[in-house]
Amino acid sequence: MKEKNLDQRLTREQVLHRKLDTIRWSLFFIWAGIAFLADVGWGPGFLGVGIITLGAQAARKYFGLTLEGFWIAVGFFFVAGGVWVLFQIQFELWPILCVILGIALLVSTLDPRREIARPGGIGPCLK
């Protein structure tokens, strides 16, 4: 009986994941079309894509699905890029984003909760 409930739950989560993914991509294409037709510029365009991307992750959290760190980072970078262009900030964004990304990768690697398996699958070699 538990197996059947687990299978139904996984199927429900998979269906929900696909629906949310389809909605995200649909909104992206609708926004891209509107942005191109209205010629809103890069700032609002980036900002819209970032909001759609982060909104999709908020929907995943609302429905109890796991958050996707990659898409959260992508959404953040699009929002940052949009704000950067809208407010015409004078210093370069890319070097700052590279430093932030490098620090995030370094911190994620040094996180003690992440384990690295030894070759051959014999337990963790880092804790």
Distance of alpha carbon 53 from alpha carbon 75, whole angstroms: 5
pLDDT averaged per 10 residues in sequence order, the chain, 127 residues: 63 90 96 95 95 96 91 91 88 80 83 64 52
For 60-90, the pLDDT digits (tens) are 999 999 999 889 989 998 999 899 889 888 8
Q: Would the pTM of this model clear 0.85, i.e. be above it? A: no
Domain spans, the chain:
2-90, 91-127
For 52-87, b/e burial (b = at least 16 CB within 10 A) is: bbbebbeebeeeeeeebeeebebbebbbbbbebbee
